[in-house]
Structure 1
Amino acid sequence: MKAIILAGGSGTRLWPYSRREMPKQFLHFGEKRSLLQKTIERFIPIIDPKDILVVTSQDYFHLVKTQAMEISLLLENQILIEPEQKNTAPAIALAICYLTSFLKISSQECVLICSSDHLICPQEIFIHALVEAEKIAQKARNVIFGVRPNKPETGYGYIKLGLQEQENIYHVDSFVEKPDFALAQKYLLSGQHLWNSGIFLFQIETFIKELQKHCPEIGIGISGDFKEFVARFSELPNLSIDYALMEKSTNTKVVRLDLNWSDVGSWDSVYDFLEKDQHNNAKMGNVLDIDTKNCLIMGNKRLISTIGLEDLIVVETADALFIGKRRESQRVKALVEELQKRETKESYLHPTSHRPWGHFTVLEEAERYKLKRIVVEPKQKLSLQMHYHRSEHWVVVKGTAKVTIDQQETILSENESIFVPKRAIHRLENPGKVLLELIEVQVGEYVGEDDIVRLEDVYQRT
């Protein structure tokens, strides 16, 4: 069995934590592993890392690579980049074409398709269901996993159950759009509806035939040459796999899952899976609460103190604060859309930006200056570059820095500093075996990130 993990999404429903630069699949919620890493770990017991393929965009390639390799070094070359960001149907078709055309995988092989940002517990129940589902897929059937609902959820699509074939396995009667609260409550009480988990299992041959039948504009070429499929990728319609195939096919079985599942699609769902205190509050960070009940409070660096709050969501980051009512967090999407209309950088930029060589965090920014904390991974280097509008001052906090300024090399240790003049050609690298951490002070008439002229780059960003 192969596994295709979709990790190219850029959702903003968990703003201000999740933004275009840092989508939720890469976030940690008080745990060591990100949602992407937890997804990969979920399959390692039954699927070899070399049989796992992560599909993402160019923007997130290095984030995926870094996080995946923390799980297994075998995943370094198991990342497929979409030519451009589209919906799930083109992304899955691209991955299937890659497996069959480029890697020459047998069309009789079964493939599991899932998102990179779901929570599933207990894992053992899901793995058992996966083994049983593979037997169904081998009989040329589409398989989708449905979750028994435990509340009237309006944020999920539903699957209406048809005839039962065996324990926990049903024919799909129909797919149902996200309902309003009254209808979701009716679905819950009926016992005939499951949440659509968006997790699928196909035999490759079956998937190709079904997609060519129900969505030929994507299916045409999927069994042909991979390079040709990539060349016409931009022409493919922007469709989800549900619309392109699953809702049209009459060849689908649903496996019912009786477990805890969440697509972590809202702050309410984050509240649901986090541990609660004696007052039913879910808290992260430095929080002092008095007479506060049923709240989600997510802190970053500052102390968050509350008195007499109830049923609220409070989320603080280095540059933004969100306060809203619980059970209304689906409206965050509308909030972000309004921020985007106002062209506020907080709608898409994250305080911490990841790069192939490491990451940096903006500590403070005002007119004519910016203060950053820069972390460079061992043996990594920034591009050879220059700036027209700013000078920089670097102070090493930890590790060893190799600095090149106009062809002159300097080695800096902790508590040593160097000045990089405006228009000087320069490069920073970490020659050591431990992280390099430094503070950068930028001063100039313009301190935007686009004031970079790259002359040479090991990551091909020139």
Structure 2
Amino acid sequence: MKFLVLAGGSGTRLWPLSRKNFPKQFLKLPTENNGCESFFQKTLKRLSLYKDAEIFIITNEKHKFYVVNQIEEISKKLKNKPAFEIILEPASKNTAPAIALTLKYAIQKGISPEEVFFVSPSDHIVKPDEEFVGYIKDSEEIAKRGYIVTFGIKPARAETGYGYIKVKMPETETFYRVEKFVEKPDIDTAKKYIEDGNYFWNSGMFAFRVDTIVEEFKKHSPELGKIFEKPYDEVLNNFETLPDISIDYAIMEKTDRAALLPLNIFWSDIGSWESLYEILEKDSADNAVIGDSLNIQTERSLIVGNKRFIATLGLKDTVVVETEDALLIAKKGECQKVKEIVKILSEKASPQVEEHTTVYRPWGSFTLLEKGHRYKIKRITVNPGASLSLQMHHHRSEHWVVVKGTAKVKIGDKEQFVHENESVYVPKSTLHRLENPGKIPLEIIEVQVGEYVEEDDIKRFEDAYGRQDI
């Protein structure tokens, strides 16, 4: 059995913590006793319990280095050591093209048409892990018989944030045959589904044989079905022309081979701030709190802090989420509408949609400390042994002050070591590179001055991560 992890989403419903270039799957929230693992890492940890797992991960090119770094972090904790393959989407095109592209890659590598794939999102919580592996094994046996298996969650409440699946009764052996997939309903419709008893939440997880799903792609989604008739490189080069469509729309709503396996353990897609509230530990006033806060006469609320101290007074059923550059205050029950905020901010090209003030790069990260007319101040962290590209800026000069570690700096033809409390100056239009030759993270303060101080004023000449411009 092979695994396909979908890690290309650009999650909007957990804004402002989740951003387009740092989506939900890479967030590290204390949803359990251990808050140092992201949703993506928890997914890999869960799937790695399946012995000799081979895990294909498909993600957007922008997220490649998050994936690589988080795999390196979690690999040290895994008892079983799965093989990882990373497939990069040239553009975000929803789940159907992502699945088809990964399968084409696997087929071209020589994978058997009878191999079973298990497809999983990378931003859900499922527990306990060991029991979940048992369900995966059950789905494999059903998929071997030619079914496309989906996992259904028995609704605990009338939920408008999930899609639903109606099953045919009675149960067939250990699973149901699917009657239809249903879009996210309004509250009255959701209540009717609960009363009916034949509806399950759609978990977004699937299992199928390679030959089964390829046949269904060709039958129900011919444009995507053509992927399997072309060389992988040609598919990759033309990926942006493919339809933006989910696997539900492309296949599952049309196929007569869908089967539902009930999942009788805990599951949440953390699709809203209310979903996160439900799974966090609560204090005596039923508040779920992350970060440093003082909450007086505040009840049944979610308080998520970052660096600021938060004080609340007299709040009830409220969501407060603070980041370095944005603050969300919402009434519980309204958080599915957060995506409307993101849409408006996107139309205004607001930077709060794209990035956090801390931006991760393959060599480390930088944090924007202050920005004004003709200047910008950053804190830059370079990982041990890592280096920035050999680069040049035409519109700004830079002044670097080392606050921790040792920097190896190349400016023009000159190379030198710069230590704590020492500084160097990088003139405009001068080739330069910053490197950390040491054993601890290098931290510097960078002051940029010039007529233009945006990130696109950079020309790379050499880069260890394949980003050079010439």
What TM-score comes out, normalization by structure 1 length? 0.96
Cα distance between partner residues in 2 of 1:179 and 1:378: 50
SS of the residue corresponding to residue 170 of structure 2 reads: strand
Query: Structure 1 75/131 Cα, relative in aligned 2: closer, same or farther at 3 Å?
Result: closer
Structure 1 stretch 449-458 or stretch 21-30: which is displaced more?
449-458
Q: 2:443 aligns with which of 429, 437, 440?
A: 437
| Preserved CA contact (<8 Å) 1:68 1:75 | no
SS of the residue corresponding to residue 78 of structure 1 reads: strand
Aligned: 1:405 with 2:411? yes
Which amino acid counterpart does residue 193 of structure 1 have in structure 2?
Answer: Y
Report the alpha carbon displacement of residue 438 of structure 1 after superposing the two structures with TM: 1.6
SS of the residue corresponding to residue 250 of structure 2 reads: helix
Q: Which residue of 1 aligns with 2:25?
A: 25
Q: Which residue of 2 aligns with 1:82?
A: 89
| Preserved CA contact (<8 Å) 1:386 1:454 | yes
Report the alpha carbon displacement of residue 224 of structure 1 after superposing the two structures with TM: 4.6
Aligned: 1:257 with 2:263? yes
SS of the residue corresponding to residue 439 of structure 1 reads: strand
Report the alpha carbon displacement of residue 204 of structure 1 after superposing the two structures with TM: 0.6
SS of the residue corresponding to residue 197 of structure 1 reads: strand
Deviations 1:133-191 (A, max 9, x none): 11000111110001111111101000112133456511111111111111112222332
Deviations 1:412-435 (A, max 9, x none): 222322222222221001112222
In the comparison of the two structures, how many residue pairs are matched?
460
Q: Which residue of 2 aligns with 1:343?
A: 349
Which amino acid counterpart does residue 295 of structure 2 have in structure 1?
Answer: D
Q: 1:44 aligns with which of 44, 48, 51?
A: 48
Which amino acid counterpart does residue 48 of structure 1 have in structure 2?
Answer: D
Structure 1 stretch 232-241 or stretch 81-90: which is displaced more?
232-241
Deviations 1:232-263 (A, max 9, x none): 32332111100100010111110001222111
Q: 2:196 aligns with which of 190, 193, 205?
A: 190
Which amino acid counterpart does residue 279 of structure 1 have in structure 2?
Answer: A
Cα distance between partner residues in 2 of 1:80 and 1:29: 26
Structure 1 stretch 128-137 or stretch 76-85: which is displaced more?
76-85
SS of the residue corresponding to residue 228 of structure 2 reads: coil
Which amino acid counterpart does residue 7 of structure 1 have in structure 2?
Answer: A
Report the alpha carbon displacement of residue 13 of structure 1 after superposing the two structures with TM: 1.4
Report the alpha carbon displacement of residue 19 of structure 1 after superposing the two structures with TM: 0.9
Report the alpha carbon displacement of residue 445 of structure 1 after superposing the two structures with TM: 2.5
Alignment of 1:351-366 (within 5 A): 351-366=357-372
Cα distance between partner residues in 2 of 1:163 and 1:19: 42
Structure 1 stretch 231-240 or stretch 202-211: which is displaced more?
231-240
Alignment of 1:56-455 (within 5 A): 56-72=59-75, 78-101=85-108, 103-166=109-172, 168-222=174-228, 224-455=230-461
Report the alpha carbon displacement of residue 228 of structure 1 after superposing the two structures with TM: 3.0
Cα distance between partner residues in 1 of 2:314 and 2:209: 55
Report the alpha carbon displacement of residue 304 of structure 1 after superposing the two structures with TM: 0.4
Cα distance between partner residues in 2 of 1:42 and 1:224: 34
| Preserved CA contact (<8 Å) 1:351 1:361 | yes
Structure 1 stretch 309-318 or stretch 444-453: which is displaced more?
444-453
Cα distance between partner residues in 2 of 1:148 and 1:385: 55
Deviations 1:110-142 (A, max 9, x none): 000111111112223321111111100011111
Report the alpha carbon displacement of residue 76 of structure 1 after superposing the two structures with TM: 8.4
SS of the residue corresponding to residue 221 of structure 1 reads: helix
Cα distance between partner residues in 2 of 1:373 and 1:328: 36
SS of the residue corresponding to residue 365 of structure 2 reads: strand
Query: Structure 1 201/10 Cα, relative in aligned 2: closer, same or farther at 3 Å?
Result: same
Cα distance between partner residues in 2 of 1:60 and 1:271: 27
Which amino acid counterpart does residue 311 of structure 2 have in structure 1?
Answer: S
Cα distance between partner residues in 2 of 1:77 and 1:202: 20
Structure 1 stretch 275-284 or stretch 233-242: which is displaced more?
233-242
Which amino acid counterpart does residue 356 of structure 1 have in structure 2?
Answer: P
SS of the residue corresponding to residue 96 of structure 1 reads: helix
SS of the residue corresponding to residue 220 of structure 1 reads: helix
Structure 2 unaligned blocks of 5 or more: none
| Preserved CA contact (<8 Å) 2:55 2:84 | no
Cα distance between partner residues in 2 of 1:127 and 1:453: 48
| Preserved CA contact (<8 Å) 2:97 2:244 | yes
What TM-score comes out, normalization by structure 2 length? 0.94
Which amino acid counterpart does residue 22 of structure 2 have in structure 1?
Answer: M
Cα distance between partner residues in 1 of 2:172 and 2:121: 27
Query: Structure 1 444/229 Cα, relative in aligned 2: closer, same or farther at 3 Å?
Result: closer
Report the alpha carbon displacement of residue 47 of structure 1 after superposing the two structures with TM: 4.6
Cα distance between partner residues in 2 of 1:229 and 1:392: 42
Cα distance between partner residues in 1 of 2:315 and 2:114: 57
Structure 1 stretch 91-100 or stretch 252-261: which is displaced more?
252-261
| Preserved CA contact (<8 Å) 1:362 1:371 | yes
Query: Structure 1 232/75 Cα, relative in aligned 2: closer, same or farther at 3 Å?
Result: farther
Q: Which residue of 1 aligns with 2:12?
A: 12
SS of the residue corresponding to residue 353 of structure 1 reads: strand
Cα distance between partner residues in 1 of 2:172 and 2:137: 15
Query: Structure 1 168/363 Cα, relative in aligned 2: closer, same or farther at 3 Å?
Result: farther
C-alpha RMSD over aligned residues: 1.6
Which amino acid counterpart does residue 313 of structure 2 have in structure 1?
Answer: I
Which amino acid counterpart does residue 253 of structure 2 have in structure 1?
Answer: E
Cα distance between partner residues in 1 of 2:408 and 2:83: 27
Deviations 1:297-352 (A, max 9, x none): 11111110011101111111001111111110011111111112222211222111
Report the alpha carbon displacement of residue 212 of structure 1 after superposing the two structures with TM: 0.9
Cα distance between partner residues in 2 of 1:199 and 1:275: 27
| Preserved CA contact (<8 Å) 1:378 1:431 | yes
